[in-house]
């Protein structure tokens, strides 16, 4: 989408509500979100902050996008406007998330910028990832907290989202593990995983037959 709004420029020139993002996230957003621009995308952002990022996503994805903000603070409700809807609840609350999915349907994109507390990030992912649309994206940001004790983090601590992701990398390759791992729903519905400084991205899709043909003259 060559003519799409440049997200970085949109951030730098923002004079709407406050946005709080690390600058190196912008090439990551552009890389993984660009195919959804101008489409009737359902985009869920966990964590509304001061409401500016929701407005930025609305500008970026265009007139058919439905932007859904989730936050634990009731005052975030005031960020609602055309194309932006807010639901108040905790990202780790399964019943709340179930209600959100029942109301809005399968999200095309989930961006977790909520509490950044490991058990809560994992709870949201475990509930929402299977419910993301079949060609959708799940992105978790600010994963530096996976190394910080006050967010239940710690280097190689088994209960962090980074360690969960390392295990999921094996699950992605389960078909090739010669029986060591049983392929799962995650194996069947995930096309790729991407790791960046503080950000992990999962791209869903439907696998065609996995084989390695030899093509061309011997
Ligand atoms: C970093 S701010 C979001 C910033 C915003 N996305 C932006 O880019 O400008 C994190 C938000 O997550 C919310 N939050 C904290 N714990 C939460 C939880 N358990 N469930 C849902 N939201 C939570 C906070 O109230 C806060 O608004």
Question: Is 176 in the active site?
Answer: no
3 state DSSP class of 182: coil
Using CA atoms, how far residue 139 sits from 63, 99, 155, 205, 217, in Å, is 22, 21, 21, 15, 42
In a domain? residue 23 = yes
Q: According to the model, what pLDDT value does residue 5 have?
A: 77
Exactly one of 20, 24, 32, 116 is catalytic; which is it? 116
In a domain? residue 213 = no
Number of residues written out for the chain: 218
The CATH number of the domain where 115 resides is what? 3.40.50.150
In a domain? residue 131 = yes
Token pair for 45? 């952002």
Longest dimension (CA), the chain: 67
Atom of ligand 1 nearest to the CA of 111: 6
Contacts of 71 (CB under 8 A, 6+ apart): 46, 47, 48, 86, 88, 114
Ligand 1 atom 16 nearest Cα = 115
Ligand 1 atom 15 nearest Cα = 115
In a domain? residue 70 = yes
In a domain? residue 31 = yes
For residue 35, the 8-state DSSP code is G
φ/ψ (deg, to 5) at 53: -65, -35
Atom of ligand 1 nearest to the CA of 49: 27
Helices (DSSP H) in the chain: which residue ranges?
Answer: 7-12, 26-33, 52-61, 94-104, 118-128, 161-172, 185-189
In a domain? residue 138 = yes
In a domain? residue 207 = no
pTM of the full predicted structure?
0.97
Beta bridge partners of 112: 46, 140
For ligand 1, which residues put their CB under 6 angstroms from it? 19-21, 45-49, 52-53, 70-73, 90-92, 113-115, 120
- Which residues in the chain show pLDDT less than 50? 1
Range of the domain at 36: 7-202
Ligand 1 atom 18 nearest Cα = 90
In a domain? residue 212 = no
How many structural domains is the chain composed of?
1
């Amino acid at each position: 989408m060559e003519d799409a709004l440049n997200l970085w420029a949109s951030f730098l020139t923002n004079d709407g509500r406050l946005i709080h993002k690390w600058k190196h996230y912008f090439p990551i957003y552009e890389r993984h979100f660009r195919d959804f621009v101008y489409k009737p995308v359902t985009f869920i952002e966990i964590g509304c902050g001061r409401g500016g990022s929701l407005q930025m996503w609305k500008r970026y994805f265009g007139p058919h996008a439905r932007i859904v903000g989730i936050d634990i603070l009731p005052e975030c409700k005031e960020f609602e406007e055309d194309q932006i809807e807010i639901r108040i609840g905790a990202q780790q609350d399964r019943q709340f998330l179930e209600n959100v999915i029942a109301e809005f349907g399968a999200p095309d994109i989930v961006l977790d910028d909520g509490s950044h507390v490991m058990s809560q990030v994992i709870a949201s992912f475990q509930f929402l990832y299977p419910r993301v649309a079949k060609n959708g994206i799940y992105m978790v940001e600010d994963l530096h907290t996976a190394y910080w004790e006050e967010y239940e983090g710690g280097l190689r601590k088994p209960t962090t989202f980074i360690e969960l992701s390392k295990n999921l990398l094996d699950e992605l390759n389960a078909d090739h593990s010669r029986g060591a791992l049983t392929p799962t729903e995650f194996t069947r519905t995930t096309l790729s995983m991407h790791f960046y400084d503080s950000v992990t991205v999962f791209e869903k899709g439907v696998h065609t037959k996995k084989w390695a043909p030899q093509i061309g003259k011997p």
